[in-house]
């Protein structure tokens, strides 16, 4: 247990230890990459170096977490609680996984431009700030650092028109979303005179929200809606996920989503706990729309990558169900589900990257036909991922969904859980055909998977993810405990949300 005085330079450095370490490391990687680039070895070197950076930053998070660092008085710019540490650890794991997936992929696709890994690390830095922000300005800075890096990464494959399209689309829509968010921040500042979440919460406590604050809240929600790809702000997601290089898609689907959701939970719970009547209906509406639309459109997809893109919209809907209660139980569910979804999605995109040859966009359900016969372990792993996304017992995905159900049921909500399970049944309609194709259909051509190779690093990342998905599926005790404890540290200065 250590206390950090964030008004001193030393204190603030310690409080930002993971971010400081990662930013510093990014500069080193940038130097190395600009000094030596062009050859596959150089790309590999930069990749492993970046992975080491993630590990160092993770050590920083661990140090803060183990010592359960807390602020002296009120947290100023950046939160010092387990919720932030848990989220940061999760984001770093997603980033590390994405790096491992990238290593072999970039060489195979001959994408050796040096900026890839520094951008990825910078994006991760942005995510850490976003997820740890206690102040709306820090939140916005984090969001922009993250977004700009990801815009470039989405268009990283310069030879591909769809990649360029993805980048442009993401950039335009992202800029739009930032505008909403910034305007929302301005209005909230105007209404409360502060950008600090706890102070906003204290300011708004008790009374009815002024029109300005309510408008600000609404604009913030729209901004977050864009970032987490909730319906109706999802139009960019399928094209961007589809067009970006697959490891980048994995990074976007896991890291960006995790950071945005964590920030959203913090803003709503710390800044607006007094106005659940205002934001709960909006969140519920977004959740239902995302679950229904995401699952129904995913059902109609032919290619795996697009199916996963739409399914990620559906998962944003499930996560919004966890945001809805506005309780600690709900925040714990958000963290746990993000972990379950992150691990599973990482592995799924890893498999997808290995299956495609410069054209993962074209991998259809039929293209994995007969995979089980020639690559039994790959088929098994992908099946576990599909079942986890489906929320099947025995996988981490089920624990996550079940926790979401509990969190919303505990608040007396029935409609959202019912929509959640009904749409989950719909999702069986597109997750199962993947398994069916792999196990129950013959390969389309003899030796279709002769050239199939997983790079060792990707195989390692996937294996760890899949094993974790199964392990936490059967023994979720530890993960649940961590999520519950972390969520319990969210400081709530305002009026507690109903039934707490």
Partner 1 sequence: MIQLLQSIGYNRWILHALVLLPLAGVVPVLLGDERSAKRMALAVTTLELLLSVGLWWALDPAQAGMQLVSSAPWIPRWGISYRVGLDGISLFMVLLTTVMMPLSVLASWTSITRRERAFYALMLTLLTGLIGVFLALDLFLFYVFFEVMLIPMYFIIGVWGGANRLYAAIKFFIYTMAGSLLMLVAIVVMVWKISAVTGTLSFSYEHLLQNAGSVGSAAPWLFAAFALAFAIKVPIFPLHTWLPDAHVEAPTAGSVLLAAIMLKIGTYGFLRFAVPFFPQVALSPGVSRLIVILAVTGVVYGALVAMVQPDIKKLVAYSSVSHLGFVMLGIWGVTLISVQGALMVMISHGISTGALFLLIGMIYERRHTRLIDDYGGIARVVPIFSLILTVVALSSIGLPGLNGFVGEFLVLLGSFGTYPWATGIATTGVIFAAAYLLWALQRMIFNRLDKPDNERLLDLTPRELVVLVPLLAGIVWLGLYPGPVLRRMEPASRRFVQTVQAAATTTTTGADMVSLEKGPR
User: Which member of 2, 55, 211, 422 binds partner 1 (CB under 8 A)?
Assistant: 422
Burial 189-212 (b: 16+ CB within 10 A, else e): bebbebbbbbbbbbbbeeeebeee
- The 446-485 site mask, x for binding partner 1 (CB under 8 A), equals ------------------------------xx--xx--x-
For residue 249, give Cα distances in angstroms to 53, 116, 169, 360: 21, 13, 14, 11
Give the burial class of 442: count Cβ atoms within 10 A of its Cβ; 0-12 exposed, 13-18 middle, 19 or more buried.
exposed
Count of positions (residues) in the chain: 500
Q: Which helix (H) or strand (E) holds 208?
A: none
The least distance separating partner 1 from the CB of residue 419, rounded to whole angstroms, comes to 10
Q: Which is nearer to partner 1, 1 or 414 (CB)?
A: 414
User: Which member of 9, 414, 450, 451 binds partner 1 (CB under 8 A)?
Assistant: 414
The least distance separating partner 1 from the CB of residue 267, rounded to whole angstroms, comes to 27
Q: Which is nearer to partner 1, 123 or 433 (CB)?
A: 433
User: Which member of 405, 443, 458, 462 binds partner 1 (CB under 8 A)?
Assistant: 405
The least distance separating partner 1 from the CB of residue 312, rounded to whole angstroms, comes to 20
CB 257 within 8 A of CB 312: yes
Stretch that binds partner 1, among 133-141, 200-208, 291-299, 431-439 (CB under 8 A): 431-439
SS3 114: coil
User: Which member of 55, 74, 440, 445 binds partner 1 (CB under 8 A)?
Assistant: 440
Interaction of residue 409 with partner 1, rule CB under 8 A = yes
Stretch that binds partner 1, among 21-29, 341-349, 355-363, 409-417 (CB under 8 A): 409-417
User: Which member of 406, 463, 464, 496 binds partner 1 (CB under 8 A)?
Assistant: 406
User: Which member of 18, 243, 433, 494 binds partner 1 (CB under 8 A)?
Assistant: 433
Tokens of 474: 């059967």
Q: Which is nearer to partner 1, 393 or 456 (CB)?
A: 393
Q: Which is nearer to partner 1, 394 or 460 (CB)?
A: 394
For residue 336, give Cα distances in angstroms to 35, 131, 174, 383, 402: 41, 15, 27, 21, 10
Determine the size of the site formed for partner 1 (CB under 8 A): 29
User: Which member of 210, 402, 463, 495 binds partner 1 (CB under 8 A)?
Assistant: 402
The least distance separating partner 1 from the CB of residue 229, rounded to whole angstroms, comes to 24
The least distance separating partner 1 from the CB of residue 331, rounded to whole angstroms, comes to 16
Sign of CA dihedral 294, 296, 297, 303: positive
Q: How many CA atoms lie within 13 A of 260 on its CB side?
A: 31
Burial 90-102 (b: 16+ CB within 10 A, else e): bbbbbbbbbbbbb
CB 308 within 8 A of CB 253: yes
Interaction of residue 394 with partner 1, rule CB under 8 A = yes
For residue 275, give Cα distances in angstroms to 45, 57, 327, 493: 50, 36, 13, 13
Stretch that binds partner 1, among 150-158, 184-192, 242-250, 435-443 (CB under 8 A): 435-443
The least distance separating partner 1 from the CB of residue 468, rounded to whole angstroms, comes to 17
The least distance separating partner 1 from the CB of residue 475, rounded to whole angstroms, comes to 8
Interaction of residue 387 with partner 1, rule CB under 8 A = yes
Close Cβ partners of 207 (under 8 Å, ≥ 6 residues apart)? 274
Q: Which is nearer to partner 1, 218 or 417 (CB)?
A: 417
- Smallest Cα–Cα separation from 497: which of 248, 179, 201, 215? 201
Q: What is the largest CA-CA distance in the chain?
A: 71
- The 222-251 site mask, x for binding partner 1 (CB under 8 A), equals ------------------------------
Tokens of 89: 């650890």
CA distance 317 to 228: 9
Tokens of 457: 């690093």
Q: Which is nearer to partner 1, 36 or 485 (CB)?
A: 485
Interaction of residue 428 with partner 1, rule CB under 8 A = yes
> Which residue blocks in 155-270 are alpha helix, DSSP H?
161-192, 197-204, 211-227, 236-243, 246-251, 257-266
The least distance separating partner 1 from the CB of residue 318, rounded to whole angstroms, comes to 13
Which backbone phi and psi does 165 adopt, to 5 degrees?
-60, -45
Q: Which is nearer to partner 1, 91 or 435 (CB)?
A: 435
CA distance 294 to 314: 4
The least distance separating partner 1 from the CB of residue 423, rounded to whole angstroms, comes to 10
CA distance 242 to 308: 9
Which residues form the interface with partner 1 (CB under 8 A)?
Answer: 387, 392-394, 402, 405-406, 409-410, 414, 417-418, 421-422, 424-425, 428-429, 432-433, 436, 439-441, 476-477, 480-481, 484
């Amino acid at each position: 247990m250590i206390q950090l005085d964030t008004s001193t330079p030393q204190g603030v450095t310690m409080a930002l230890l993971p971010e400081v370490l990662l930013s510093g490391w990014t500069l080193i990687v940038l130097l190395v990459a600009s000094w030596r680039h062009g050859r596959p070895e150089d790309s590999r070197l930069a990749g492993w170096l970046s992975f080491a950076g993630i590990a160092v930053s993770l050590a920083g998070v661990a140090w803060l977490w183990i010592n359960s660092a807390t602020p002296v008085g009120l947290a100023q710019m950046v939160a010092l609680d387990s919720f932030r540490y848990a989220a940061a650890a999760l984001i770093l794991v997603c980033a590390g996984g994405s790096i491992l997936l990238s290593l072999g992929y970039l060489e195979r696709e001959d994408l050796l431009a040096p900026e890839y890994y520094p951008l990825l690390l910078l994006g991760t830095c942005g995510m850490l700030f976003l997820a740890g922000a206690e102040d709306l300005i820090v939140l916005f800075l984090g969001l922009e650092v993250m977004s700009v890096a990801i815009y470039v990464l989405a268009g990283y494959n310069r030879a591909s028109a769809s990649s360029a399209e993805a980048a442009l689309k993401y950039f335009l829509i992202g800029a739009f979303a930032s505008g909403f968010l910034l305007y929302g921040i301005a209005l909230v500042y105007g209404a409360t005179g502060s950008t600090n979440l706890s102070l906003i919460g204290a300011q708004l406590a008790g009374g009815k929200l002024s029109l300005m604050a309510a408008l600000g809240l609404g604009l913030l929600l729209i901004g977050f809606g864009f970032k987490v790809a909730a319906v109706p702000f999802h139009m960019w997601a399928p094209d961007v996920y589809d067009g970006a290089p697959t490891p980048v898609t994995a990074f976007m689907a896991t890291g960006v989503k995790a950071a945005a959701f964590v920030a959203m939970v913090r803003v709503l719970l710390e800044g607006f706990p007094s106005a659940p009547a205002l934001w709960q209906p909006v969140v519920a509406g977004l959740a239902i729309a995302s679950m229904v639309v995401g699952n129904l459109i995913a059902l109609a997809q032919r290619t795996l990558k697009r199916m996963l893109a739409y399914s990620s919209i559906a998962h944003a809907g499930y996560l919004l169900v966890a945001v809805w209660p506005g309780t600690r139980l709900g925040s714990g569910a958000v963290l746990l589900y993000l972990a379950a979804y992150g691990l599973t999605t990482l592995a799924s995109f890893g498999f997808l990257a290995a299956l495609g040859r410069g054209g993962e966009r074209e991998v259809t359900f039929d293209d994995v036909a007969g995979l089980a016969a020639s690559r039994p372990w790959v088929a098994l792993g992908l099946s576990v991922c599909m079942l986890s996304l489906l929320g099947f017992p025995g996988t981490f995905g089920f624990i996550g969904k079940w926790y979401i159900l509990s969190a919303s049921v505990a608040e007396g909500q029935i409609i959202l859980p019912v929509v959640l399970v009904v749409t989950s049944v719909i999702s069986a309609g597109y997750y199962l055909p993947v398994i069916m194709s792999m196990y129950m259909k013959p390969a389309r051509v003899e030796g279709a998977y002769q050239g199939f190779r997983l790079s060792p690093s990707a195989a390692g990342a996937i294996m760890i993810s899949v094993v974790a998905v199964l392990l936490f599926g059967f023994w979720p005790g530890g993960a649940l405990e961590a999520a519950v404890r972390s969520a319990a540290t969210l400081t709530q200065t305002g009026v507690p949300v109903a039934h707490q």
